[in-house]
Structure 1
Amino acid sequence: MNPILDAQQTHTSIRQYTNKAIDEDLLRKLIQCAQGAASSSFIQAYSIVQVTNTENRQQIAELSGGQKWVETSAEFLVICADLTRVEQCSLQQGLGPLEGNTEHFIAATTDATFMAQNLMLGAESVGLGAVFIGGIRNDPAQVSELLNLPDQVFPIFGLCLGYPDAEPEIKPRLPIDAILHKDRYDTSSCIKDISDYDAQMQSYYQSRDSNHKSSNWSIQTANAVQKKKREHMLPFLQKRGFLKC
């Protein structure tokens, strides 16, 4: 093993933080290093909004479903897919404005996500804790208004950063054989894989030091996707200039 592999396998979401501030130079260095992530055709279609305004952080915490760590973390960043610079390049080269192609949406979203994962891994490597906040998509229009986001930009998720004040247990992941397929996708063991993993996760939830509950992966997953559809996202994205064709 090496430090990077160790960090990847020991990741936990941190929602409790000390009062220690993050040095601004360190934060900028972490972001600079995160920019080393892969980028589709090197378009680097992302931006980060560092939210320091207390009232804005309070509002975003409420919009995200009462996630108080948005307020209490040392730093709260909003990771955005951003095609504004890409469109400017297109205009300067005489190729016209962007037309809301699905491919461009995918490229910008993956660019931003790769960069954000790099940022989290880098932060954890220097002793910081972090958690992504998908709850900002509960009301992306309000978040966009608070942060003055222009068209061709949308907030994908937030990122809390700070020095950990908790040590949650590591959640067991799906076994490698459940996600790794050779040459052809094989569904023959899907039901058994889920059943075995459910038993493992139920044991984990009942045995961890805090937040005991009787649940498993299937219950959590079904509720996460079927009760959190956020059907407002498509019209919101189309209004912003995405997913029109």
Structure 2
Amino acid sequence: MNTMIELIQSHRSIRKFTNEKVSNEQINMIVEAGRWAPSSHHVQAYSIVVINEKEKKRNLASLAGNQSYVESCPVFFVICADFYRLHEVSTLLNKPFEVGEIEQVLVGAVDAALVAQNMLLAARANGMGGVMIGGIRNEPEKVANLLNLPKYTFPVMGLCIGYPDQDPAQKPRLPLKAVVHDEQYNTVQLNQVLREYDDVMSDYYRKRTKGKRIETWTSQMANHFTTPKRPQVGEFLKNQGFLKKE
């Protein structure tokens, strides 16, 4: 199998790191890989904030839901959707600037996600590991203030990077039959496929926790969606110039 395919298919989230430092050269290599990600209409609506300061990582760990690995990782990145420089371009050329629709939120979020994935793959290709941090959106206004983010930007995700100090088992993914459809969306087999996946996931958790946790994927997801998630993000986006206020 092609080594890149092997790398992609061997993904695991790494949350524990050795004390080995990530050099400035390695950081530049990771960022450069992110810079070459695809971008909608070539707008390149992203920015990367590199965090090395221990105190700042500690603050971000707290804001991201007390995720200790944000503080303990050698380097932490915050990948943002960024239309600020596009606003400056429009102002410079005396053109209207329209980013109030949800389409631009999607464009910025997708651009940032593609950049983050490139960065993680580059780090892993060089012996490192990492984990994406969605919790960076828990307190978006505080994160924005801490990082001095201007209007028309918003944090999409964090990324911990370092040398792995753990070797976790791979978490099974949904079967192909649940996520791949030929020609049109097919719902016929879904219930059966999900039951089969529940067996796989409960076995995974049983082995991972030595019998302390036996949980199905369907019960986990059903519980997850019983409450709204990060409702504060919408208001923050409006304050940042997105999602036009009524």
Q: Is the TM value for this pair above 0.5? A: yes
Distance (Å, rounded) in 1 between the aligned partners of 2:209 and 2:163: 20
Distance (Å, rounded) in 1 between the aligned partners of 2:189 and 2:66: 39
**Are the counterparts in 2 of residues 90 and 98 from structure 1 also a CA contact under 8 Å?**
no
Q: 1:90 corresponds to which residue?
A: 90
Within-5 A mapping of 1:134-145:
134-145=134-145
Which secondary structure state, in structure 2, belongs to the residue aligned with residue 173 of structure 1? coil
**Are the counterparts in 2 of residues 202 and 215 from structure 1 also a CA contact under 8 Å?**
yes
What is the Cα deviation at residue 191 of structure 1?
A: 1.4
Q: 1:7 corresponds to which residue?
A: 7
Q: 1:237 corresponds to which residue?
A: 237
Which secondary structure state, in structure 2, belongs to the residue aligned with residue 80 of structure 1? strand
Post-superposition Cα deviations, 1:42-69, rounded to whole Å, max 9, x if no partner, equal 1110001112232221121112221100
What is the Cα deviation at residue 189 of structure 1?
A: 1.3
Post-superposition Cα deviations, 1:75-127, rounded to whole Å, max 9, x if no partner, equal 01111000012222222333223341221111111011111111111111111
Which secondary structure state, in structure 1, belongs to the residue aligned with residue 26 of structure 2? helix
**Are the counterparts in 2 of residues 70 and 76 from structure 1 also a CA contact under 8 Å?**
yes
Q: TM-score, normalised by structure 1?
A: 0.95
Within-5 A mapping of 1:82-161:
82-161=82-161
Within-5 A mapping of 1:38-57:
38-57=38-57
**Are the counterparts in 1 of residues 52 and 74 from structure 2 also a CA contact under 8 Å?**
no
Alpha carbons of 1:135 and 1:228: their partners in 2 closer, same or farther (altered >3 Å)?
farther
Q: 28-37 or 52-61: which moved more?
A: 52-61
Q: 1:29 corresponds to which residue?
A: 29
Letter in 2 for 1:143: V
Distance (Å, rounded) in 2 between the aligned partners of 1:42 and 1:208: 43
Alpha carbons of 1:188 and 1:84: their partners in 2 closer, same or farther (altered >3 Å)?
same
Distance (Å, rounded) in 1 between the aligned partners of 2:80 and 2:225: 22
**Are the counterparts in 1 of residues 35 and 115 from structure 2 also a CA contact under 8 Å?**
yes
Post-superposition Cα deviations, 1:168-190, rounded to whole Å, max 9, x if no partner, equal 00111111121111111111111
Q: 94-103 or 209-218: which moved more?
A: 209-218
RMSD: 1.6
Distance (Å, rounded) in 2 between the aligned partners of 1:4 and 1:85: 34
Which secondary structure state, in structure 1, belongs to the residue aligned with residue 36 of structure 2? coil
Deviating beyond 6 angstroms after TM superposition, the runs of 4 or more aligned structure 1 residues are: none
Distance (Å, rounded) in 2 between the aligned partners of 1:54 and 1:226: 36
Letter in 2 for 1:23: S
Distance (Å, rounded) in 1 between the aligned partners of 2:181 and 2:238: 35
What is the Cα deviation at residue 219 of structure 1?
A: 2.4
Distance (Å, rounded) in 1 between the aligned partners of 2:61 and 2:140: 13
Q: 118-127 or 46-55: which moved more?
A: 46-55
Distance (Å, rounded) in 1 between the aligned partners of 2:13 and 2:38: 24
Letter in 2 for 1:121: L
Distance (Å, rounded) in 2 between the aligned partners of 1:55 and 1:105: 30
Post-superposition Cα deviations, 1:6-42, rounded to whole Å, max 9, x if no partner, equal 0111110000000000111111112112221110011
Which secondary structure state, in structure 1, belongs to the residue aligned with residue 77 of structure 2? strand
Distance (Å, rounded) in 2 between the aligned partners of 1:224 and 1:44: 33
